[in-house]
Amino acid sequence: MSKQVQDAYIVSATRLPIGKSGRGYFKNTRPDEMLVKVMQAALAQAPGLDPAAIEDAIVGCSFPEGEQGMNIARVASVLAGLGNTIGGVTVNRYCASGITAVQMAADRIRVGEADVMFAGGVESMSMIPMGGNKPSLSPLIFEKDENIGIAYGMGLTAEKVAAQWKISREAQDAFSVESHRRAVAAMQAGHFAAEITPFDVVERTPNLADPTSGSVNVKTRIVSLDEGARPDTSLEGLAKLKPVFAAKGSVTAGNSSQTSDGSGGLLIVSEAALKRYNLTPLARFVSFAVRGVPPEIMGIGPIEAIPAALKAAGISAKDLDWVELNEAFAAQSLAVLNDLDSKGIELDRAKVNPNGGAIALGHPLGATGAIRAASVIHGLRRTGGKYGMVTMCVGAGQGAAGIFERL
Protein backbone atom coordinates (compact mmCIF):
# COMPACT_ATOMS: atom_id res chain seq x y z
CA MET A 1 0.00 0.00 0.00
CA SER A 2 1.26 3.48 -0.82
CA LYS A 3 2.64 5.50 2.09
CA GLN A 4 0.65 8.29 3.68
CA VAL A 5 0.87 10.45 6.77
CA GLN A 6 -2.59 9.58 8.13
CA ASP A 7 -5.90 8.03 7.14
CA ALA A 8 -8.90 9.86 5.74
CA TYR A 9 -12.31 8.88 7.09
CA ILE A 10 -15.77 9.45 5.64
CA VAL A 11 -18.20 10.53 8.35
CA SER A 12 -21.20 11.33 6.15
CA ALA A 13 -22.19 10.39 2.61
CA THR A 14 -25.41 11.35 0.93
CA ARG A 15 -26.99 12.19 -2.39
CA LEU A 16 -30.17 13.46 -3.94
CA PRO A 17 -32.48 11.23 -5.95
CA ILE A 18 -31.49 11.32 -9.62
CA GLY A 19 -33.90 13.03 -12.00
CA LYS A 20 -34.34 12.63 -15.74
CA SER A 21 -32.85 15.54 -17.62
CA GLY A 22 -35.17 17.84 -19.51
CA ARG A 23 -38.41 16.32 -18.26
CA GLY A 24 -37.84 15.06 -14.74
CA TYR A 25 -37.75 16.13 -11.11
CA PHE A 26 -35.06 18.76 -11.43
CA LYS A 27 -35.67 20.18 -14.91
CA ASN A 28 -36.30 23.62 -13.37
CA THR A 29 -34.06 23.25 -10.30
CA ARG A 30 -30.74 25.07 -10.36
CA PRO A 31 -27.67 22.88 -9.78
CA ASP A 32 -26.34 25.22 -7.09
CA GLU A 33 -29.58 24.65 -5.17
CA MET A 34 -29.09 20.89 -5.44
CA LEU A 35 -25.53 21.20 -4.19
CA VAL A 36 -26.58 23.44 -1.29
CA LYS A 37 -29.06 20.79 -0.16
CA VAL A 38 -26.40 18.06 -0.31
CA MET A 39 -23.91 20.16 1.65
CA GLN A 40 -26.45 20.88 4.36
CA ALA A 41 -27.54 17.23 4.50
CA ALA A 42 -23.96 15.97 4.75
CA LEU A 43 -23.29 18.34 7.65
CA ALA A 44 -26.53 17.31 9.40
CA GLN A 45 -25.32 13.70 9.31
CA ALA A 46 -22.21 14.66 11.30
CA PRO A 47 -23.68 16.18 14.47
CA GLY A 48 -21.11 17.93 16.57
CA LEU A 49 -18.95 18.98 13.67
CA ASP A 50 -18.33 22.72 13.57
CA PRO A 51 -18.97 23.90 9.97
CA ALA A 52 -16.11 26.36 10.38
CA ALA A 53 -13.76 23.39 10.68
CA ILE A 54 -14.28 22.55 7.01
CA GLU A 55 -11.22 23.91 5.23
CA ASP A 56 -12.28 23.44 1.63
CA ALA A 57 -15.14 22.22 -0.55
CA ILE A 58 -14.03 20.31 -3.64
CA VAL A 59 -16.83 19.68 -6.12
CA GLY A 60 -16.82 17.81 -9.42
CA CYS A 61 -18.76 19.08 -12.43
CA SER A 62 -18.36 17.97 -16.05
CA PHE A 63 -19.53 21.18 -17.69
CA PRO A 64 -18.99 23.98 -15.15
CA GLU A 65 -20.66 26.85 -16.96
CA GLY A 66 -23.96 28.69 -17.01
CA GLU A 67 -26.08 27.82 -13.98
CA GLN A 68 -23.30 25.57 -12.67
CA GLY A 69 -20.45 27.91 -13.46
CA MET A 70 -18.78 30.70 -11.44
CA ASN A 71 -17.00 28.14 -9.22
CA ILE A 72 -20.16 26.47 -7.98
CA ALA A 73 -18.27 24.83 -5.11
CA ARG A 74 -17.51 28.16 -3.46
CA VAL A 75 -20.89 29.70 -4.30
CA ALA A 76 -22.82 26.75 -2.87
CA SER A 77 -20.72 26.58 0.31
CA VAL A 78 -21.60 30.19 1.06
CA LEU A 79 -25.28 29.73 0.18
CA ALA A 80 -25.39 26.59 2.33
CA GLY A 81 -24.38 28.63 5.35
CA LEU A 82 -21.09 26.84 5.90
CA GLY A 83 -19.34 30.13 6.52
CA ASN A 84 -17.09 32.56 4.70
CA THR A 85 -13.88 30.96 5.95
CA ILE A 86 -14.39 27.82 3.84
CA GLY A 87 -12.71 27.63 0.45
CA GLY A 88 -14.23 26.12 -2.67
CA VAL A 89 -12.89 24.70 -5.92
CA THR A 90 -14.68 23.08 -8.86
CA VAL A 91 -12.85 20.26 -10.67
CA ASN A 92 -13.50 18.60 -14.00
CA ARG A 93 -12.57 15.08 -15.01
CA TYR A 94 -15.80 14.58 -16.95
CA CYS A 95 -17.61 11.49 -15.64
CA ALA A 96 -15.01 10.93 -12.92
CA SER A 97 -15.21 14.49 -11.59
CA GLY A 98 -17.09 13.45 -8.45
CA ILE A 99 -14.75 10.61 -7.46
CA THR A 100 -11.77 12.84 -8.27
CA ALA A 101 -13.15 15.44 -5.85
CA VAL A 102 -13.33 12.73 -3.18
CA GLN A 103 -9.76 11.65 -3.92
CA MET A 104 -8.45 15.22 -3.81
CA ALA A 105 -10.18 15.94 -0.51
CA ALA A 106 -8.98 12.66 1.00
CA ASP A 107 -5.44 13.34 -0.15
CA ARG A 108 -5.37 16.73 1.58
CA ILE A 109 -6.12 14.87 4.79
CA ARG A 110 -3.87 11.89 4.10
CA VAL A 111 -0.80 14.11 3.69
CA GLY A 112 -1.63 16.06 6.83
CA GLU A 113 -2.61 19.36 5.23
CA ALA A 114 -6.24 19.41 6.42
CA ASP A 115 -8.52 17.84 9.04
CA VAL A 116 -12.00 18.36 7.59
CA MET A 117 -13.01 18.54 3.91
CA PHE A 118 -16.21 18.44 1.89
CA ALA A 119 -16.15 16.53 -1.41
CA GLY A 120 -19.00 16.21 -3.87
CA GLY A 121 -20.33 16.52 -7.36
CA VAL A 122 -23.20 18.18 -9.16
CA GLU A 123 -24.60 18.22 -12.69
CA SER A 124 -27.73 19.57 -14.32
CA MET A 125 -27.98 18.08 -17.78
CA SER A 126 -31.35 19.81 -18.05
CA MET A 127 -29.72 23.23 -17.91
CA ILE A 128 -26.27 22.55 -19.38
CA PRO A 129 -26.22 20.23 -22.41
CA MET A 130 -23.62 17.57 -23.15
CA GLY A 131 -20.57 19.43 -24.44
CA GLY A 132 -21.64 22.69 -22.84
CA ASN A 133 -23.42 25.67 -24.35
CA LYS A 134 -20.69 26.49 -26.85
CA PRO A 135 -18.49 23.48 -27.66
CA SER A 136 -15.32 24.43 -29.51
CA LEU A 137 -12.73 21.84 -30.53
CA SER A 138 -9.12 22.74 -31.23
CA PRO A 139 -8.13 22.34 -34.91
CA LEU A 140 -4.99 20.61 -33.65
CA ILE A 141 -7.13 17.57 -32.78
CA PHE A 142 -7.68 16.87 -36.46
CA GLU A 143 -4.04 17.19 -37.55
CA LYS A 144 -3.13 13.68 -36.35
CA ASP A 145 -5.27 10.59 -36.77
CA GLU A 146 -4.45 9.33 -33.30
CA ASN A 147 -6.05 12.41 -31.74
CA ILE A 148 -9.33 12.45 -33.65
CA GLY A 149 -10.99 10.25 -31.02
CA ILE A 150 -11.05 13.27 -28.72
CA ALA A 151 -13.76 14.69 -30.98
CA TYR A 152 -15.87 11.53 -31.06
CA GLY A 153 -19.22 11.55 -29.33
CA MET A 154 -19.48 9.12 -26.42
CA GLY A 155 -21.95 6.95 -28.30
CA LEU A 156 -19.52 6.41 -31.15
CA THR A 157 -16.79 5.37 -28.73
CA ALA A 158 -19.22 2.80 -27.32
CA GLU A 159 -19.82 1.46 -30.81
CA LYS A 160 -16.08 1.09 -31.33
CA VAL A 161 -15.74 -0.74 -28.01
CA ALA A 162 -18.64 -3.05 -28.88
CA ALA A 163 -16.97 -3.91 -32.20
CA GLN A 164 -13.45 -4.39 -30.84
CA TRP A 165 -14.51 -6.45 -27.80
CA LYS A 166 -17.27 -8.27 -29.73
CA ILE A 167 -20.15 -7.27 -27.47
CA SER A 168 -23.40 -8.25 -29.17
CA ARG A 169 -26.61 -6.23 -29.21
CA GLU A 170 -28.33 -9.09 -27.39
CA ALA A 171 -25.74 -9.05 -24.59
CA GLN A 172 -26.06 -5.28 -24.22
CA ASP A 173 -29.83 -5.43 -23.98
CA ALA A 174 -29.74 -8.30 -21.47
CA PHE A 175 -27.29 -6.31 -19.32
CA SER A 176 -29.65 -3.33 -19.45
CA VAL A 177 -32.71 -5.34 -18.46
CA GLU A 178 -30.81 -6.64 -15.44
CA SER A 179 -29.80 -3.09 -14.46
CA HIS A 180 -33.46 -2.07 -14.35
CA ARG A 181 -34.49 -5.26 -12.54
CA ARG A 182 -31.92 -4.72 -9.81
CA ALA A 183 -32.78 -1.04 -9.45
CA VAL A 184 -36.50 -1.69 -9.10
CA ALA A 185 -35.88 -4.51 -6.61
CA ALA A 186 -33.60 -2.27 -4.54
CA MET A 187 -36.20 0.48 -4.47
CA GLN A 188 -38.92 -1.91 -3.39
CA ALA A 189 -36.67 -3.24 -0.63
CA GLY A 190 -35.83 0.27 0.61
CA HIS A 191 -32.12 -0.15 -0.03
CA PHE A 192 -31.63 3.45 -1.16
CA ALA A 193 -33.13 5.05 1.94
CA ALA A 194 -29.84 5.43 3.82
CA GLU A 195 -27.99 7.11 0.97
CA ILE A 196 -30.69 9.45 -0.40
CA THR A 197 -31.65 12.84 1.01
CA PRO A 198 -35.21 13.71 -0.09
CA PHE A 199 -35.58 17.02 -1.93
CA ASP A 200 -38.46 19.50 -1.97
CA VAL A 201 -39.06 20.31 -5.63
CA VAL A 202 -40.83 23.65 -6.08
CA GLU A 203 -42.88 24.03 -9.24
CA ARG A 204 -44.08 27.47 -10.31
CA THR A 205 -46.71 27.91 -13.04
CA PRO A 206 -48.72 30.91 -14.25
CA ASN A 207 -52.21 31.28 -12.80
CA LEU A 208 -54.19 30.45 -15.95
CA ALA A 209 -57.47 30.94 -14.11
CA ASP A 210 -56.64 34.62 -13.84
CA PRO A 211 -53.96 35.33 -16.48
CA THR A 212 -54.16 39.12 -16.14
CA SER A 213 -53.25 39.04 -12.45
CA GLY A 214 -49.65 38.05 -13.06
CA SER A 215 -49.87 35.67 -10.13
CA VAL A 216 -48.06 32.36 -9.96
CA ASN A 217 -49.18 29.02 -8.57
CA VAL A 218 -46.57 27.39 -6.35
CA LYS A 219 -46.61 23.65 -5.74
CA THR A 220 -44.10 21.69 -3.68
CA ARG A 221 -43.53 17.95 -3.78
CA ILE A 222 -40.98 15.78 -2.03
CA VAL A 223 -38.94 13.40 -4.21
CA SER A 224 -37.01 10.57 -2.59
CA LEU A 225 -36.30 7.92 -5.25
CA ASP A 226 -34.36 7.87 -8.51
CA GLU A 227 -36.61 8.56 -11.44
CA GLY A 228 -35.23 6.44 -14.26
CA ALA A 229 -35.79 2.80 -13.32
CA ARG A 230 -38.55 1.08 -15.31
CA PRO A 231 -40.17 -2.11 -14.02
CA ASP A 232 -41.56 -2.86 -17.49
CA THR A 233 -38.15 -2.97 -19.22
CA SER A 234 -37.88 -6.15 -21.28
CA LEU A 235 -35.67 -7.76 -23.90
CA GLU A 236 -38.55 -7.56 -26.35
CA GLY A 237 -38.99 -3.85 -25.77
CA LEU A 238 -35.30 -3.01 -26.00
CA ALA A 239 -34.93 -5.08 -29.17
CA LYS A 240 -37.34 -2.72 -30.94
CA LEU A 241 -35.12 0.32 -30.40
CA LYS A 242 -32.97 1.54 -33.26
CA PRO A 243 -29.25 2.36 -32.91
CA VAL A 244 -28.74 6.05 -32.30
CA PHE A 245 -25.01 6.58 -32.94
CA ALA A 246 -24.29 4.41 -35.99
CA ALA A 247 -26.74 3.25 -38.65
CA LYS A 248 -25.66 -0.38 -38.39
CA GLY A 249 -24.57 -0.20 -34.78
CA SER A 250 -25.78 -1.84 -31.59
CA VAL A 251 -25.85 1.01 -29.08
CA THR A 252 -29.36 2.32 -28.40
CA ALA A 253 -31.01 4.67 -25.94
CA GLY A 254 -32.11 1.58 -24.03
CA ASN A 255 -28.63 0.17 -23.44
CA SER A 256 -26.99 3.51 -22.68
CA SER A 257 -26.94 5.54 -19.48
CA GLN A 258 -29.70 8.08 -18.99
CA THR A 259 -28.90 11.79 -19.12
CA SER A 260 -29.72 13.08 -15.67
CA ASP A 261 -29.63 15.72 -12.96
CA GLY A 262 -28.25 15.12 -9.47
CA SER A 263 -25.78 15.82 -6.72
CA GLY A 264 -23.88 13.94 -4.02
CA GLY A 265 -21.50 14.80 -1.21
CA LEU A 266 -19.29 13.46 1.56
CA LEU A 267 -17.54 14.86 4.62
CA ILE A 268 -14.01 13.52 5.01
CA VAL A 269 -11.95 13.99 8.15
CA SER A 270 -8.71 13.03 9.90
CA GLU A 271 -8.42 10.86 13.00
CA ALA A 272 -7.79 14.00 15.03
CA ALA A 273 -11.08 15.46 13.84
CA LEU A 274 -12.88 12.22 14.67
CA LYS A 275 -11.77 12.56 18.28
CA ARG A 276 -12.18 16.33 18.53
CA TYR A 277 -15.80 16.32 17.33
CA ASN A 278 -16.76 12.83 18.58
CA LEU A 279 -17.60 11.64 15.04
CA THR A 280 -18.37 8.09 13.93
CA PRO A 281 -16.52 7.00 10.78
CA LEU A 282 -18.52 5.21 8.09
CA ALA A 283 -15.57 4.24 5.94
CA ARG A 284 -11.91 4.84 5.19
CA PHE A 285 -10.66 6.10 1.85
CA VAL A 286 -8.14 3.47 0.75
CA SER A 287 -6.80 4.19 -2.73
CA PHE A 288 -7.36 5.85 -6.08
CA ALA A 289 -5.96 5.41 -9.57
CA VAL A 290 -6.46 7.06 -12.92
CA ARG A 291 -5.11 5.85 -16.25
CA GLY A 292 -5.31 7.01 -19.85
CA VAL A 293 -6.49 5.00 -22.86
CA PRO A 294 -7.03 5.84 -26.55
CA PRO A 295 -9.82 8.45 -26.74
CA GLU A 296 -11.79 6.53 -29.39
CA ILE A 297 -12.24 3.60 -26.99
CA MET A 298 -12.55 5.64 -23.82
CA GLY A 299 -15.08 3.18 -22.38
CA ILE A 300 -12.42 0.62 -21.50
CA GLY A 301 -10.61 3.02 -19.14
CA PRO A 302 -11.49 1.00 -15.99
CA ILE A 303 -9.53 -1.95 -17.41
CA GLU A 304 -6.37 0.01 -16.65
CA ALA A 305 -7.50 1.92 -13.56
CA ILE A 306 -8.95 -0.98 -11.56
CA PRO A 307 -5.75 -3.08 -11.32
CA ALA A 308 -3.80 0.04 -10.33
CA ALA A 309 -6.27 0.95 -7.58
CA LEU A 310 -6.28 -2.63 -6.28
CA LYS A 311 -2.47 -2.68 -6.19
CA ALA A 312 -2.33 0.61 -4.31
CA ALA A 313 -4.85 -0.75 -1.80
CA GLY A 314 -2.93 -3.98 -1.37
CA ILE A 315 -5.98 -6.14 -2.10
CA SER A 316 -7.27 -8.30 -4.95
CA ALA A 317 -10.51 -8.27 -6.92
CA LYS A 318 -11.77 -11.13 -4.74
CA ASP A 319 -11.63 -8.83 -1.71
CA LEU A 320 -14.19 -6.44 -3.21
CA ASP A 321 -17.64 -6.88 -1.70
CA TRP A 322 -19.34 -4.07 -3.65
CA VAL A 323 -18.43 -2.53 -7.02
CA GLU A 324 -20.10 0.49 -8.58
CA LEU A 325 -19.05 0.16 -12.22
CA ASN A 326 -20.64 3.14 -13.91
CA GLU A 327 -22.79 1.96 -16.80
CA ALA A 328 -22.06 4.68 -19.33
CA PHE A 329 -23.02 2.08 -21.92
CA ALA A 330 -23.77 -1.62 -21.60
CA ALA A 331 -21.16 -2.23 -24.32
CA GLN A 332 -18.29 -0.70 -22.35
CA SER A 333 -19.40 -2.20 -19.03
CA LEU A 334 -19.40 -5.69 -20.53
CA ALA A 335 -16.10 -5.07 -22.32
CA VAL A 336 -14.48 -4.04 -19.03
CA LEU A 337 -15.82 -7.05 -17.14
CA ASN A 338 -14.92 -9.53 -19.86
CA ASP A 339 -11.45 -8.12 -20.42
CA LEU A 340 -10.65 -8.16 -16.71
CA ASP A 341 -11.87 -11.77 -16.53
CA SER A 342 -9.41 -12.71 -19.27
CA LYS A 343 -6.60 -11.20 -17.21
CA GLY A 344 -7.53 -13.06 -14.03
CA ILE A 345 -9.07 -10.00 -12.37
CA GLU A 346 -12.56 -11.41 -11.98
CA LEU A 347 -15.27 -9.18 -10.54
CA ASP A 348 -18.16 -11.16 -9.04
CA ARG A 349 -21.15 -10.15 -11.20
CA ALA A 350 -23.49 -10.35 -8.21
CA LYS A 351 -21.37 -7.69 -6.49
CA VAL A 352 -21.19 -5.37 -9.49
CA ASN A 353 -23.96 -2.76 -9.33
CA PRO A 354 -26.13 -4.80 -6.93
CA ASN A 355 -28.73 -2.01 -6.92
CA GLY A 356 -28.62 -1.39 -10.66
CA GLY A 357 -26.48 1.13 -12.50
CA ALA A 358 -26.61 4.23 -14.64
CA ILE A 359 -28.65 2.57 -17.39
CA ALA A 360 -31.53 2.37 -14.92
CA LEU A 361 -30.67 4.98 -12.30
CA GLY A 362 -29.16 7.73 -14.46
CA HIS A 363 -25.78 9.37 -14.91
CA PRO A 364 -25.52 13.05 -13.97
CA LEU A 365 -21.94 13.19 -15.29
CA GLY A 366 -19.76 15.12 -12.84
CA ALA A 367 -21.96 14.16 -9.88
CA THR A 368 -21.92 10.42 -10.50
CA GLY A 369 -18.62 9.63 -8.77
CA ALA A 370 -19.76 11.25 -5.51
CA ILE A 371 -23.21 9.72 -5.81
CA ARG A 372 -21.83 6.24 -6.32
CA ALA A 373 -19.38 6.73 -3.44
CA ALA A 374 -22.39 7.23 -1.18
CA SER A 375 -23.94 4.10 -2.69
CA VAL A 376 -20.84 2.00 -2.00
CA ILE A 377 -20.44 3.21 1.57
CA HIS A 378 -24.05 2.63 2.56
CA GLY A 379 -24.23 -0.60 0.60
CA LEU A 380 -21.26 -1.99 2.48
CA ARG A 381 -22.74 -0.94 5.80
CA ARG A 382 -26.08 -2.56 5.03
CA THR A 383 -24.57 -5.84 3.86
CA GLY A 384 -21.57 -6.02 6.18
CA GLY A 385 -19.04 -6.00 3.35
CA LYS A 386 -15.54 -4.66 3.85
CA TYR A 387 -14.13 -3.23 0.60
CA GLY A 388 -16.00 -1.37 -2.13
CA MET A 389 -14.98 0.36 -5.33
CA VAL A 390 -16.28 3.13 -7.55
CA THR A 391 -14.98 3.01 -11.11
CA MET A 392 -15.86 4.57 -14.43
CA CYS A 393 -14.70 5.42 -17.91
CA VAL A 394 -13.98 9.04 -18.72
CA GLY A 395 -14.37 11.15 -21.85
CA ALA A 396 -11.28 11.80 -24.01
CA GLY A 397 -9.81 8.46 -22.92
CA GLN A 398 -9.41 7.86 -19.19
CA GLY A 399 -10.46 5.44 -16.49
CA ALA A 400 -10.67 6.07 -12.75
CA ALA A 401 -11.20 3.89 -9.69
CA GLY A 402 -11.46 4.63 -5.98
CA ILE A 403 -11.58 2.07 -3.16
CA PHE A 404 -13.26 2.42 0.26
CA GLU A 405 -13.16 0.26 3.39
CA ARG A 406 -16.21 0.02 5.64
CA LEU A 407 -15.55 0.69 9.33
Q: Is 222 exposed, middle or buried (0-12, 13-18, 19+ CB in 10 A)?
A: exposed
Is 61 an annotated catalytic residue? no
Q: What single string gives the DSSP state of each residue in 357-407?
A: -HHHH-B-GGGHHHHHHHHHHHHHHHHT--EEEEEEEETTTEEEEEEEEE-
User: What whole-number distance in Å separates Cα of residue 132 and Cα of residue 15?
Assistant: 24
Is 191 an annotated catalytic residue? no
Q: What single string gives the DSSP state of each residue in 248-281?
A: T----STTBPPBEEEEEEEEEE-HHHHHHTT---
**DSSP helix/strand/coil, 290:** strand
**Which pLDDT tens digit goes with each residue over 65-104?**
999 999 999 999 999 999 899 999 999 999 999 999 999 9
pLDDT band (50, 70, 90) for residue 2: low
Q: Is the pLDDT of residue 141 over 90?
A: yes
Phi-psi group of 384: left, alpha or beta (phi > 0 → left; psi -120 to 50 → alpha; rest → beta): left
* Global confidence as pTM: 0.96
pLDDT band (50, 70, 90) for residue 329: very high
With contact defined as beta carbons under 8 Å apart, do 160 and 297 qualify?
yes
For all residues of the chain together, what is the average pLDDT? 96
With contact defined as beta carbons under 8 Å apart, do 362 and 179 qualify?
no
- Which element (helix H / strand E) includes 11? strand 8-15
- Per-residue b or e along 157-183, where b marks 16 or more CB atoms closer than 10 Å to that residue's CB: bbbbbbeebebebebbbbbbbbbbbbb
User: What whole-number distance in Å separates Cα of residue 13 and Cα of residue 33?
Assistant: 18
Give the percent of the chain with pLDDT over 70.
99
Please compute the mean of the pLDDT values over residues 109-119 and round it to a whole number: 97
Residue 64 identity = P
**Which pLDDT tens digit goes with each residue over 51-75?**
999 999 999 999 999 999 999 999 9
Q: Which of 180, 191, 363, 378 is catalytic?
A: 363
Is 363 an annotated catalytic residue? yes
Q: Which of 95, 180, 191, 378 is catalytic?
A: 95
User: Hey, which residues does 359 pair with through a beta bridge?
Assistant: none
Q: What single string gives the DSSP state of each residue in 179-199?
A: HHHHHHHHHHHTTTTTTBPPE
User: Hey, which residues does 291 pair with through a beta bridge?
Assistant: 399
**Which pLDDT tens digit goes with each residue over 8-45?**
999 999 999 999 999 999 999 999 999 999 999 999 99
- Which element (helix H / strand E) includes 33? helix 31-44
Q: Which of 61, 180, 378, 393 is catalytic?
A: 393
pLDDT band (50, 70, 90) for residue 166: very high
Q: Is the pLDDT of residue 384 over 60?
A: yes
Q: 91 φ, ψ to 5°?
A: -120, 150
